[in-house]
A and B are shown apart, each in its own frame.
Chain A
Amino acid sequence: MHELKSTPKRYQNPEVFELLAMEYAVGSLQGRARERFEVLMDTHFYLKATVDAYEAKFANLVELLPEKKPSDAVWNNIQAHIKENPVEDVTVEQEVKTPWWQTSFFKQGFGMAAALAVVVIALNVDPKTGIDPAAIASYTAAMEYDANGEAIATTKIQKSEMKLTIDIMKPMVVADGMELTLWCHPKSGAKPMKMGTISKTGITKLDISEEEWINLQNIGSLAVTVEKQGKEVVEPTGRRILKGQLSPIKS
């Protein structure tokens, strides 16, 4: 049995961590060893990616199982949960069904700003070759409203300021007792990183640490979820209402 505690760097050895990842995926890594490995997975994306790959392979074993129908109560409870947590938790003010280029949102220039952000991203990023992490000066994301794909927020993270700035350009109506939380989603599919609570309208600035800046290299997208006010959440629990790809911009 491989022990994680004896030599902390051992998990960086592929011979060791791949076997641990297999043990985790198959379920034989248990107790405190499993908990320690989960802590390491949160900070080391390669561990999570290796576990994901083996979990997907072992999950094919489900195909061999005989079927067992659950009771009707299970679906009824799931359905009740969905109804209690509808998409309508949040709406965009003055939602209209006219073409996007005729919306008041776009006429007010907000859409233009979002479109500009997309163009800036397209001009500065080479998705095929990628960018040397040392050359990255900032990251940006145009975030869209999930329901209709309308861009309503832009996010910029600048190394010079070590701040994340999110601009909600179209006010959002959020139910009483709810708040908006910003998350970074790793490319590996690992657990998202909470960045903080943001305002329902206008600009919010959040400080970022050196470690968070470095970790941004591994982030694929940003998302905003609606969470219960004052509730300490470590992973998204509410409906996701904004999403956008995070792209690096060269200095």
Chain B
Amino acid sequence: MEDIYADLLHKTAKGDQLAFKQLYEQASPKLMSLSLRLMRTEALAEDVLQEGFIKIWDKADTYTPGKGKAMTWMSTVIRNKGLDKLRSLKTKPSETEIEYEGLDFASSELEPEGLQDLSQDIQGLMTCLNKLKPDQKECILLSYYYGHTHQELADKLDKPLGTIKAWIRRGLEDLRPCMN
């Protein structure tokens, strides 16, 4: 599948503000969605999105196509900004401002017909994730999308902390050979 963002990112690296605006318009809805799940409130999510896109503008020249798609690079920039922000906050925001939807958006795409519209990269990753036990997969996806700590997962899933840690560790151990 053609990487529609790579060309815009390349032009952005050369200081092309129009290309950067196009990049923002096309990529920001997905990245806002990522930021919102991580940050829990729209205000914080928009702060992170803004700081992340400023970093993308400043660092666009460091993106190397050989290391992955432009969207995955931008997602990592935004997500790390979000995780840094969460770490700097003394208390995590509550989830009251967004409707907690768990992993419905992900599970609905896991059906074979849903996978057809997705890139080969995500299809491959979902194939690997689907080989895990449901609890392991759920913990890993909740960690990724919502940035939940082990304790938060234990509270949310009503399981002992040790069980959550074991699910994640074993899940990642099982995932490693498949992802490689």
Q: Could you tell me if B58 and A237 are in contact, using CB atoms closer than 8 angstroms?
A: yes
Q: When the two chains form their complex, are residues A66 and B176 in contact, meaning their CB atoms are under 8 A apart?
A: no
Contacts of B83 in A (CB 8 A): 27
Q: Is the CB of A59 within 8 A of B169?
A: no
Tell me if A's interface is mostly helix, strand, loop or mixed.
Answer: helix
* Interfacial chain B residues near A53, Cβ < 8 Å: 67
Contact B50 A78 (CB under 8 A): yes
Are A27's CB and B109's CB within 8 A?
no
Q: Which residues of B contact A87 (CB under 8 A)?
A: 15
Nearest A residue to B17 via CB reads A82
For the complex, what is the distance from the CA of A53 to the CA of B119, rounded to whole Å?
18
In contact, A68 and B29 (Cβ under 8 angstroms)? yes
B68 proximity list for chain A (CB < 8 A): 56-57, 59
Give CA–CA (A82, B169) in the complex, Å: 42
B57 and A64 contacting across the interface, CB-CB below 8 Å: no
Expressed in whole angstroms, the Cα–Cα distance for A228 and B54 within the complex equals 17
B144 touches A69 (CB 8 A): no
Q: Give the CA-CA distance A81 to B83 in the complex, in Å.
A: 22
B residues 72-128 touching A (CB-CB < 8 Å):
72-73, 75-76, 79, 83, 87, 105-106, 109, 118-119, 121-122, 125
Whose C-beta in chain B lies nearest to the C-beta of A63? B122
Q: What's the minimum C-beta distance from A9 to chain B, rounded to whole angstroms?
A: 20
Establish whether residues B143 and A70, one from each chain, have CB atoms under 8 Å apart when the complex forms: no
List residues of chain A with CB within 8 A of the CB of B165. 1
Total interface residues on A, using CB and 8 Å?
50
How distant is the Cα of A168 from the Cα of B109 in the complex, in angstroms?
55
**Contact string against B for A residues 19-53, beta-carbon threshold 8 Å, 1 for contact and 0 otherwise:** 10011001110110010000000000000000011
Contact of B33 among A1, A28, A58, A68 (CB under 8 A): A68
The yes or no answer to A62 lying at the interface (CB within 8 A) is yes
Q: Does B19 contact A (CB under 8 A)?
A: no
Nearest CB of A to B111, in Å: 12
Is B179 at the interface (CB under 8 A from chain A)? yes
CA distance in complex: A52, B64 (Å): 12
A30 vs B121: C-alpha distance when bound (angstroms) = 26
A63 touching B33 in the complex, CB below 8 Å, given contacts A18-B176, A55-B76, A56-B67: no
Contact-residue size bin, chain B (C-beta under 8 Å from the other chain): 35 or more
User: A74–B28 contact, CB under 8 A?
Assistant: yes
Interface residues of B in 123-171 (CB under 8 A from A): 125, 139-141, 143-145, 147, 149-150, 165, 168-169
Mask, B25-39, CB within 8 Å of A = 1, is 000111111101100
B143 touches A67 (CB 8 A): no
B122-A74 in contact (CB<8A): no
Q: Which residues of B contact A30 (CB under 8 A)?
A: 149-150
Do B175 and A22 touch (CB < 8 A)?
yes
Min Cβ gap B175→A in Å is 7
Q: Do residues B144 and A27 form an inter-chain contact, with CB atoms below 8 A?
A: yes
Shortest 3 CB-CB distances between A and B: which pairs? A67-B29, A56-B68, A59-B72
A interface list, Cβ under 8 A from B = 1-2, 18-19, 22-23, 26-28, 30-31, 34, 52-71, 73-75, 77-79, 81-82, 87, 146-147, 185, 189, 236-237, 239-240, 243
- Show 27 A/B contacts (Cβ-Cβ < 8 Å), sorted by A: A19-B169, A22-B176, A23-B169, A23-B172, A28-B139, A30-B149, A59-B73, A59-B76, A60-B119, A63-B30, A63-B71, A63-B118, A63-B121, A63-B122, A64-B122, A65-B34, A67-B33, A68-B29, A68-B32, A70-B29, A71-B46, A73-B46, A78-B50, A78-B57, A87-B15, A237-B58, A240-B58
